[in-house]
């Protein structure tokens, strides 16, 4: 059974892939999924919270779709996004 997916706007072999990957994680056996980026969870207001209780929950396909939308927008600690890293 799959309980986690990873979505990233960088190619799999890019050295910074792990920094920009969004983890789509199943919450126990509820069938609900959350987005996790570097230990922060996407909330209903579009912010990232360190508290999983604040996370918005999706069905699996909805979570994957949201992760694909967010993947180009998440940042490295220096503020870089995937496009910046690909253009270096």
Dist. CA 56–CA 72, nearest whole Å: 19
Contacts of 33 (CB under 8 A, 6+ apart): 24, 25, 26, 27, 57, 58, 59, 60, 62, 63
Dist. CA 88–CA 63, nearest whole Å: 30
Q: What is the pLDDT of residues 30-75, one digit of tens each?
A: 889 999 999 999 999 999 999 999 999 999 999 999 999 999 999 9
pTM: 0.91
């Amino acid at each position: 059974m799959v309980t986690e997916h990873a979505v990233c706007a960088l190619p799999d072999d890019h050295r910074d892939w792990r920094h920009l990957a969004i983890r789509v994680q199943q919450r126990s056996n509820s069938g609900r999924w959350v987005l996790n980026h570097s230990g922060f969870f996407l909330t209903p207001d579009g912010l990232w919270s360190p508290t999983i209780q604040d996370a918005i929950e999706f069905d699996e396909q909805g979570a994957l779709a949201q992760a694909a939308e967010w993947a180009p927008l998440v940042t490295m600690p220096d503020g870089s996004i995937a496009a910046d890293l690909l253009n270096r």
